[in-house]
Structure 1
Amino acid sequence: MLNRTVPDFELPATGGKTFRLSAQRGKPLVIYFYPKDNTPGCTSEGQQFRDLYPQFQSLGCEVVGISRDSLKSHEAFKRNMGFPFDLLSDADETVCGLFGVIKTKNMYGKQVRGIERSTFVIDAQGVLRKEWRGVKVPGHAQEVLDFVKTLCLDHRG
């Protein structure tokens, strides 16, 4: 899917909104998929994106997080963590499937299906420019921000 236009999709978002990919055209977009609200890694990852959010915004870039959790869970997670960006609920895994982030993982000796922590950057024209899969949280949001900066520089001149 890299360097291809991402098919349009729509998901329910926090704040009673509906997120539509096509409505984001004209600015870069970071989509990060994470396994579950209120878990240590997902909380840390969200906090990093939260803390760097003003810098993403200064580049005209939007950030959204996606998991399979309910909107009710997302609203509480967003409120408790002070996330300035929306969380999208993909309960039926449609968008997870589109990006191929559902994996079988081993947890405590059991096989479970879940979201592989992954991040995608889509440019202002709706083209997927970068993907990170199997993300390790420490320093990841900064790495994404650094990539978005290069993307923005490329499109200025």
Structure 2
Amino acid sequence: MPDLGKKVPKLQGVTGDGSTLKLDSLKGQWVVVYFYPKDNTPGCTNEAKDFRDLYPKFKKHRAEIIGVSRDSVKSHTNFASKQELPFPLVSDPEETWCNAFEVIHEKVLYGKRHMGVVRSTFLIDPDGKLAAEWRGVKVPGHVQAVFDAIHLRERASHPSPPAE
């Protein structure tokens, strides 16, 4: 896991549309990488819809969003289509991305212990460095907080930020 202010690893993965996404190909813009446990579950669906609904504002601030889970490419294709998601979902069944960002932890569900994805979000700056992280995310208000973090950083580095 990269420390704040350090370069993030060079990762790539297959998205729901079958294309390969290389994280370092997005250098030059803000990148939001959010990890979620499972497609088509209530919390994950609400989070994806929140990112979808604010996506135009993110794009206005030169930010791309990437969702990551251990679900299959087919599952991502169906989920993205059903929810009309305009951003890529990376399929990570081998947990390459999950391990790089250290989001797999022991969880307890119905009294049973298992290793699962802890809902987490990472903000990568245009230079490819980790700018912020949110772990153990609660969905309500989270996407707005991520957008606000980008907006504040933009205002700090540019006297005239893009209009909202």
The match for 2:162 is none
Aligned to 1:106: 108
1:91 to 87, 90, 93: 93
- The residue identity in structure 2 corresponding to 1:146 is D
Partner in structure 2 of residue 154 of structure 1: 156
Is this contact kept in 1: 2:17–2:73, CA < 8 A? Answer: no
What is the CA-CA distance between 1:155 and the residue it aligns to?
3.0
How many residues of Structure 1 are paired with residues of Structure 2 in the alignment?
157
SS at match of 2:45: helix
Superposition TM-score, scaled by structure 2 size? 0.94
- 1:63-121 CA distance string (max 9 Å, x none): 01000000000000000000010100111001100100001100000001110000000
Report the AA paired with residue 134 of structure 1. Answer: G
How is 1:36-47 mapped onto 2 (pairs within 5 angstroms)? 36-47=38-49
For residues 154 and 127 of structure 1, the distance between their equivalents in structure 2, rounded to whole angstroms, comes to 17
Give 1:2 deviation, angstroms: 1.4
Q: Which has the higher helix share?
A: 1
Give the alignment's Cα RMSD to 1 decimal: 0.8
Task: Note the C-alpha offset of 1:156.
Answer: 2.3
Identity of aligned residues (%): 48
Asked whether the equivalents of residues 123 and 151 of structure 1 are also in contact (C-alpha less than 8 Å), the reply is no
Give TM-score scaled by structure 1 length: 0.98
Structure 1 residue runs of 5 or longer lacking an equivalent are: none
Say which SS state the counterpart of residue 66 (structure 2) adopts: strand
Report matched runs for 1:139-150 at 5 Å. Answer: 139-150=141-152
